[in-house]
Chains A and B, each alone.
Chain A
């Protein structure tokens, strides 16, 4: 029997459901969890707004490296806007996320805005190893209940179980948190059976306003299931607390690109 077949046109919707990765997670009260996680979450949500420029580099064995460049603007834990400026095929494409059910994409080639309500969160974003869940998670304490498993002079290692009712893609997570800046150094996502599925590393942190707001220069996720395919998000520019107006996160602003 011949192997090569195309089917699964349904997955062309990758492009549409791709928008979900921008969605912020529903914040929940951090009930009891570990104090470490509570502190981590408080630091992660310290900034009023942030602006990033990223290079997203996906490396897959046997294939040419794929590079995408985009800007991300975040306000609080809900509003996000992303604008692509490379490669040429997607230049000018813009996403706006106002909530899980309010997402919009502006497609320059069509000169129109499309509203998308997506309930698909487990898929990878444009061939990268980042799933919508990994990209959209803002705080961890509401999603995972964590125990301190071990610690060294520089790291806490927490073992976490997904809280009941949460639909995050992975049921288990291990997280190494740096003691000096109270930020994740490595996150390991595991299956129900405890198999390691993905590892995310965050390196080269730089901090502003003391240690309250820190950002890694590089975030990299390796998908172990996909034989080591990896995507690195390299932060080229980072600004915070610029006083960005809410109007920036409207459909009109998205359409105008302003």
Chain B
């Protein structure tokens, strides 16, 4: 260091240093335009967590995070002007470049039976044109009676709507969120709007953090500057330190640009960190120089400053860099980059503080002396007090440490939405909107692997969904079976999972390409998701529901199964019947829940008992009526109109009389017989066509009539206030009863039996949060251990004593206990932001102890408290000024909106002040040596004299 100190006093060398720095700064500035922004918020997910990996994989496969939700709260959805605007906004949204699909009440397709011609009619649910009051009333009743829309697209009271925007693959979610927001605001300027879903939430987190950083960084730097100006009252000196620090920031950013490292959102806080912490090095140099400049000439003062202070500043800087470097132990890539490059920034500023800054002082002849403050005296009193009353102060510190440790043990790692956004923020408002009008805004998914084209698997998932929906805290469960059932209804008027794999495959193919169906099943039918909507919003309550979901999925699912045909069930016949009834009972339970009926377990048991009895009889007349309707419809392949008006009825009666199990040959004969009475020449092809045409409907009519009778029989065993009075319930119950005639059923495979498998795994955001929490806790421990180890090693080397290294680390450990204890008491959780605290505090806070210990010295015969007084008086002002600077700089971050930034800002600010105080209490209590460094830190007495003037040619 002597050599450097001597050379810096040389003007030529000083010019060379300045020129080199200027050159490097120029190169860095040239590189800045190459610095790219990394907007990917998902990069903050730890790469090693299995839960997080599963979440990311499922998100990619099912596109879960690519859906933006827009909520609209209004007085009444069913107003002509509102519906007109809704139609327009639906069209506008669809036309946004990057929009895959838009689903709103305005474009949802409705279908209804065509009673006149047979088949069905499809149209948009909301008709075009301006509706009259009576039409609006009818529309309201129609829409709110649709269970698959209420609670999904519209609230039950008709006051809230949800618009679903499915983004195309690979588009920028932030840009899309902006387009969607402006489009909707333009159409609904006066309505209360809510923005939810992955694109809006990630955009909010990113934008809020970036906006805070952009908005607050200048204020934070200004606050730091003001503190410095107040402390030094030297515009030029302060300007010089800030310029030097600014150059360090520039060089670091330039290095990132030239190395192709992208600038992520956490790195946005780097300038604040570097200015607040890094400018301390320049301050120590400047303070010492100004102190010495009062007593000696400029060159000597500079020389002595560097010899005495530079090693201490370097040691302090190295500990800070070590603390930041410990971030590389984390499994979150952006934090690793932050740690690495902020450490590089600290080292760069450090290097500039002991080269560039002295070089400029040397060239400019900056000599203004720093005004004295009372800080040194006041701090010296504090240190002396602690040193003289070691036992009492030590005991107090021990008590604080133990209390802090106990309170710190309450700090748990908990990542949930509250970790990212505050109450009242747009995502929080959206969550409450969803909870208020749509039953909940939090979802858990169950990933299913198996043959999702197998109707038995779909029925098993339907049963499992029913069980899950019964759990406390679950609002509803959405599954593939519902979509397939609705499609089945469109084709055969039965809202149920069809009987064969071919039918399921056909329906799924027809649904292919629909983004909302794509969130339920993969194109190859091998994987599906159940979406479980949760009622609670708080993480603790969600965790409880999550555990019950996991337990149920684990215990209740039939994971190895065989499909058994009832006709060939053999010894498993009873098991077959029982299982079939259980499936129907599960459906009835779901209906009871859906219609909020007062039917308890006893009623269900009676229903089960009835279903195990003989089937009710079915009237052939009712089947004949329906068949006659079919024969008259356009769906019948053969037009019978020309063969007599009575023929359809006669034919239907004759065929129904053949019973439900009539063979095709019997049907053919029956048809031929009836046609013979109407026409002389019977076309065999016509008979064949008619047989083919009516065989499937006839079979379906028998089955449906049987189900209707079953529904009546079951409802008959229930209390008098029978729910079958509700026509919607009666229809749904009849449809459920269709499954009593399923020819095949899934049964658990017996040991050793050849079987098919079905696997389930609970996933989703809450599960991912759990993985993230575990990762955060692990990151915290790993980085803390690494930082502490590095710091103790550096300090042990610097002070050439392990005990001294531990002594210097002690105040910061105490600070950590206090800060984490405070977090425990205030209920602040460990999250991505707060997990950075420990290493940051450790690295920056230990500086104070380094400076105090370096200044610690007493002459033989002097008491230790005189060493404390001397050290505190010498190092105290700089330490306090730095602590206040860092605290003020970080405190400014608490004024923002981004929750992680607020937590880190507030806690770091507090920690720096606590660290300074702890230093002046703990070191005097624990220090037992007369000095910890070989050379005098303060007086410069041990500093070697300046060399020959020839080394300083430039100054001549």
Which residues of A approach B to under 8 Å, CB–CB?
1-18, 58, 60-64, 66, 87-90, 93, 102, 104-105, 107-120, 122-124, 126-128, 191, 193, 195, 197, 224-229, 251-252, 254-256
| Given A7-B153, A61-B168: A126 touches B512 (CB 8 Å cut-off) | yes
In the complex the two chains form, what is the Cα distance from A99 to B638 in whole Å? Answer: 19
Kindly provide the distance from the CB of B458 to the nearest chain A CB, expressed in whole angstroms. 14
In the complex the two chains form, what is the Cα distance from A107 to B697 in whole Å? Answer: 13
Kindly provide the distance from the CB of B181 to the nearest chain A CB, expressed in whole angstroms. 16
Complex interface: chain A residues within 8 A of B502 (CB): 108-109
In the complex the two chains form, what is the Cα distance from A251 to B235 in whole Å? Answer: 94
**Contact (Cβ within 8 A) A3 B513:** no
- B646 near A: Cβ within 8 Å? no
Kindly provide the distance from the CB of A52 to the nearest chain B CB, expressed in whole angstroms. 21
In the complex the two chains form, what is the Cα distance from A8 to B109 in whole Å? Answer: 9
**Contact (Cβ within 8 A) A251 B516:** no
| Given A13-B490, A112-B492, A116-B119: A6 touches B531 (CB 8 Å cut-off) | yes
- B431 near A: Cβ within 8 Å? yes
Q: Which residue of the partner chain A has the closest CB to B428?
A: A1
In the complex the two chains form, what is the Cα distance from A229 to B170 in whole Å? Answer: 12
**Which of A8, A88, A127, A225 makes the CB contact (< 8 A) with B94?**
A225
In the complex the two chains form, what is the Cα distance from A68 to B7 in whole Å? Answer: 80
B117, B123, B149, B637: residue with the most chain A Cβ atoms closer than 10 Å: B637
In the complex the two chains form, what is the Cα distance from A120 to B110 in whole Å? Answer: 10
Complex interface: chain B residues within 8 A of A15 (CB): 487, 490-491, 507, 510-511
**Contact (Cβ within 8 A) A116 B122:** yes
**Contact (Cβ within 8 A) B114 A251:** no
**Contact (Cβ within 8 A) A4 B487:** no
Complex interface: chain A residues within 8 A of B108 (CB): 8, 10-11
B122, B171, B502: residue with the most chain A Cβ atoms closer than 10 Å: B122
| Given A12-B483, A17-B109, A251-B637: A1 touches B427 (CB 8 Å cut-off) | yes
**Which of B97, B120, B164, B442 makes the CB contact (< 8 A) with A16?**
B120
| Given A4-B64, A5-B443, A120-B109: A128 touches B117 (CB 8 Å cut-off) | no
- B906 near A: Cβ within 8 Å? no
**Contact (Cβ within 8 A) A89 B67:** no
A-B contact pairs, 10 of them (CB 8 A): A4-B445, A5-B443, A5-B519, A61-B168, A107-B506, A113-B635, A117-B119, A118-B122, A118-B123, A119-B121
| Given A9-B486, A112-B492: A225 touches B99 (CB 8 Å cut-off) | yes
Of B315-323, B396-404, B688-696, the one with at least 4 CB within 8 A of chain A: B688-696
A15, A104, A128: residue with the most chain B Cβ atoms closer than 10 Å: A15
Complex interface: chain A residues within 8 A of B427 (CB): 1
- B417 near A: Cβ within 8 Å? yes
- B380 near A: Cβ within 8 Å? no
A117, A123, A126: residue with the most chain B Cβ atoms closer than 10 Å: A117
Kindly provide the distance from the CB of B182 to the nearest chain A CB, expressed in whole angstroms. 14
Complex interface: chain A residues within 8 A of B324 (CB): none
Contact with A along B620-640 (1 / 0, CB 8 A): 000000000000011111100
**Contact (Cβ within 8 A) A110 B514:** no
**Contact (Cβ within 8 A) B417 A1:** yes
**Contact (Cβ within 8 A) B109 A5:** no
**Contact (Cβ within 8 A) A112 B506:** no
Contact with A along B637-648 (1 / 0, CB 8 A): 110000000000
**Which of A60, A116, A191, A254 makes the CB contact (< 8 A) with B169?**
A60
- B927 near A: Cβ within 8 Å? no
- B148 near A: Cβ within 8 Å? yes
**Contact (Cβ within 8 A) A127 B109:** no
Chain B residues 96 to 154 lying within 8 A of chain A, measured CB to CB, are: 96-101, 103, 107-111, 114, 117-125, 146, 148-149, 152-153
**Which of A102, A122, A126 makes the CB contact (< 8 A) with B509?**
A126
Kindly provide the distance from the CB of A92 to the nearest chain B CB, expressed in whole angstroms. 9
Q: Which residue of the partner chain B has the closest CB to A6?
A: B478
**Contact (Cβ within 8 A) B503 A124:** no
**Contact (Cβ within 8 A) A109 B500:** yes
**Contact (Cβ within 8 A) A13 B111:** yes
Q: Which residue of the partner chain A has the closest CB to B480?
A: A6
**Contact (Cβ within 8 A) B638 A2:** no
- B271 near A: Cβ within 8 Å? no
Kindly provide the distance from the CB of B473 to the nearest chain A CB, expressed in whole angstroms. 15
Complex interface: chain A residues within 8 A of B692 (CB): 111, 255-256
In the complex the two chains form, what is the Cα distance from A102 to B114 in whole Å? Answer: 12
**Contact (Cβ within 8 A) A6 B97:** no
Complex interface: chain A residues within 8 A of B637 (CB): 113, 251-252, 254-256
In the complex the two chains form, what is the Cα distance from A37 to B180 in whole Å? Answer: 38
Kindly provide the distance from the CB of B456 to the nearest chain A CB, expressed in whole angstroms. 16
Complex interface: chain A residues within 8 A of B442 (CB): 1-2
**Which of B124, B201, B482, B510 makes the CB contact (< 8 A) with A3?**
B201
In the complex the two chains form, what is the Cα distance from A122 to B164 in whole Å? Answer: 17
| Given A6-B519, A226-B99: A128 touches B492 (CB 8 Å cut-off) | no
